[in-house]
Amino acid sequence: MAELDAARVDAWLWAVRVCKTRSAATAACRAGHVRVNGDRAKAAQPVRPGDEVRVRLHGFDRILIVRRPIVKRVSAELAAAAADDRTPAPPPREAVASVPLRDRGAGRPTKRERRDLDRLRGR
């Protein structure tokens, strides 16, 4: 396998298994969910070793450092070796505020209940 000096960011995200498909990686770039070294990235932007890639997926950011640019799907061990994951650990469940649940079949909240919920959520 020839050693590359750069790879497209969408192909790299797909190759290191951040996105399931290359088209999903391209869509994430188009939507502005991908940043390379702090700047919004287009799908064709090259990534080189040492670049920081931030990807917003499922409501939180993943921070990856490019170790090796790859463009094809490889084994899981090689894919893990191509990226260094610097994503901080999620907060413990106790620290995350719980979402109040309504009884099933209780219908829509009244105006008073909506205001109470907004006050509880800090809006």
Amino acid at 45: Q
**pLDDT tens track for 31-90:** 999 999 999 999 999 999 999 999 999 888 999 999 999 999 999 999 999 999 999 988
Residue 14 has what pLDDT? Answer: 96
Mean pLDDT of 89-113: 80
The DSSP secondary-structure symbol of 108 reads: S
Whether the CB-CB separation of 82 and 64 falls below 8 Å is answered with: no
Angstrom distance (rounded) from CA 63 to CA 17: 14
11 pLDDT tier (thresholds 50, 70, 90) = very high
Cα torsion 70, 71, 72, 76: sign: positive
- Ordered structural domains, the chain, with CATH: 1-89 (3.10.290.10)
Note the pLDDT of residue 91. Answer: 78
Q: Which two tokens stand for residue 101?
A: 């649940």
